[in-house]
Structure 1
Amino acid sequence: MLDDRTDLDGLRSGIEKITEQWFGHRGPWMGISAEKLSGTRMPDPLKWIYHFAGEWPSSSWWESVFAYQDRLLPFESLEVCEGKLVFVIENQGCWMIGTLTEGSDPPVWVRENEDGAPWRKLGDSLTEFLVTFCLHEIVFGARYRTHVDNILDRFRELGCHVSPLWINSPYVYLFDDQATRPISFHMVDGKFLVMDDGWCGTSVETPWERFPDLFQKPDESPRRIQGHEPFPDDMDIPDFVRKSHIETLIRRHQMQADYHQDMILKYSLMIEQLR
């Protein structure tokens, strides 16, 4: 999985499998429709990620399965900035990532969110960047996270199997006159995703029981906003945010209703043909 960087379809398939492993089964209504995408100027890899997960609900404030640390912009919020199609922003808006408005696998650029800031090359492959970005968000979107220096050696000492998954791929690092830094991902026992030998995320239950020195038991279960429900009344959230969230829920449930209605008609026609 994720071995051949020239196999773009294989990379996309690998990310789809890992995302479902971490966040659950993908409903057919969780992506932007092919009809919408066909009428939009976008490079092929962006059409893939939005068709796969452009409407995938999550527990993040931005209501995207790929928006826990940095943020995949909603499909309706995409914009062109100085010739680049901006599709990812840093969680505090410090920088943005853009690509070309078309192509099979165009390059990717990053720029600070300041007037006059230049676009700086981040990588030559949009697909490779999306793999890195998705894995980055999966780590931070996992149910439980920890940060322990040299955590891979700690896992090895405990008899775990460590598998390299995605090695030395560039990600944003706008410090010391650099635009990028390489980051790597490893899988541990197929259930723990490690980034840069420090950050680790997992969706397994009670990881602190197996690894008490690596995971700390929370004082209470983490409160996670369910993507299919309104915000709880006791959460201090502005009304305009609540309104936007409810509007998203209406749209999401309408998409599900349309999907199931289409399936009803399809199966009804199959019965008619059997008579």
Structure 2
Amino acid sequence: MTVVAPFTRLTPSFGFVYCGVMRTSDGSVEWLEDFITAWHGPRQPSYGLTETELPEFLPVPLRRLYRHAGRWPGPNPEENLPDSPGIFQQQDVLVRAEALSLHDGTVEFLSENQDSWTCRVTAAGPAAPVVLSNAHWMWDDDSEGEYTPLTPSLEQFLTSFVLQETVFGCRNLATTSEPAALPDQSIPLWLDGWYVSEEPSHSFWSVDFALVADISGTRWVGWNGPDAPSAELGKLQMIRS
């Protein structure tokens, strides 16, 4: 994957650090670690878990995410359970490390914000981890309650998830009903990413100090500072400010 530019950390704004320069994801957990620290940083040791605090059955990519940010507080820590990964509990929810458990050889690690569906991953072993979900009942009545394998690898799934949660966790959040062409300065972070649906549904860009997401046909714009993002993004309808 071609590197567009290194991560550059800019001035903190409203308790967050936003990035003016980013690079395209290669679908690795290493990229996620860099992105999380660049956007939310600076990282404190207490924001992650130690190796001994994590169960042995956790697959390596998920283990690395918990070690890096498994207790990273969100913008409003009082709204989250103690020791929760608050930055990953905005739209969907990364399970607290203390609540991770085995279910027939799989680990339930993520849930939809109203518990409409959950995701599991096969326990650590010699084979590559497989992500499964029971979200299919939303479009297939015959699969309600069944866990079926998803298309993306665990790393690819986590990339879509982390970027989604970062956008929805921004202090300012808006949508646009008429998405405009993205400005020339936009940097693609993750395009046509897979999540729980049966087709690619998640694309993300960095545009100056804002993050832009196209998720299942809706464009979202998130940013943390006091200034509005580029007018080239179109007319924004504020969801939160």
Normalised to the residue count of structure 1, the TM-score between the two structures is 0.65
Greater share of residues in strand: 2
Higher RCO (Cα < 8 Å, 6 or more apart)? 2
Q: How many residues align?
A: 202
* Shift of residue 86, structure 1, vs aligned partner: 0.5
**Structure-1 residue corresponding to 2:101:** 79
The corresponding residue for 2:12 is: none
SS of the aligned residue for 1:65 comes to helix
2:211 corresponds to:
193
Contact 2:24 2:188 in 1 (8 A): no
Deviations 1:175-223 (A, max 9, x none): xxxx45422111112x211111611111222327x649436597xxx5x
* 1:86–1:113 Cα change, 3 Å: farther
1:106-117 equivalences under 5 Å are 106-112=129-135, 117=145
Unmatched 5+ stretches in structure 1? 6-10, 174-178, 223-275
For each residue in 1:94-117, what CA deviation from the matched residue of structure 2 results, as whole angstroms up to 9, or x when unmatched? 000010110474121111499972
The structure number with the bigger radius of gyration is 1
Q: 1:137 aligns with which of 150, 165, 181?
A: 165
- Aligned pair 1:20/2:37, yes or no? yes
- Evaluate the alpha carbon distance shift between residue 3 and residue 138 of structure 1 in structure 2; reply closer, same or farther with a 3 A threshold: closer
Counterpart CA distance in 2 for 1:145 and 1:193 is 10
Kept after mapping to 2: 8 A contact 1:94/1:113? no
Correspondence for 1:172 among 171, 178, 196: 196
Q: Which amino acid aligns with 2:120?
A: G
TM-align CA RMSD: 2.8
Q: Deviations over 1:39-63 (max 9, x none)?
A: 5221101110110111111126334
Are the equivalent residues in 2 in contact too, given 1:44–1:105 (CA < 8 A)? no
1:97-246 aligned at under 5 Å gives the runs: 97-103=119-125, 105-112=128-135, 117-153=145-181, 155-156=182-183, 161-173=185-197, 179-189=198-208, 191-196=209-214, 198-207=219-228, 211=231, 213-214=235-236, 216=238
Unaligned runs of 5+ in 2: 1-22, 138-142
- Give the 3-state SS of the residue equivalent to 1:151 in structure 2: coil
Corresponding residue number in structure 1 for 2:5? none
User: For residue 46 of structure 2, what is the aligned residue in structure 1?
Assistant: 29
- Distance in 1 separating the partners of 2:118 and 2:239: 35
CA drift of 1:152 comes to: 4.7
3-state DSSP class of the match of 1:171?
A: coil
Matched to 1:184, the amino acid is: S
Give 3-state SS (helix, strand or coil) of 2:188's partner.
strand
Is the alpha carbon distance of 1:180 and 1:172 closer, same or farther for their aligned partners in structure 2, counting shifts above 3 Å?
farther
Which of 32, 36, 51 is the matching residue for 2:67? 51
State the Cα distance separating 1:75 from its structure 2 match: 0.2
**Which amino acid is the alignment partner of residue 194 of structure 2?**
P
Cα drift, residue 165 of structure 1: 1.2
Cα displacement (A) at 1:172: 1.9
The DSSP-based 3-state class of the residue aligned with 1:198 is strand
**Contact 2:25 2:31 (8 Å CA) reproduced:** no
Distance 1:50 1:168 in 2: 25
Q: In the alignment, which residue of structure 1 is the partner of 2:19? A: none
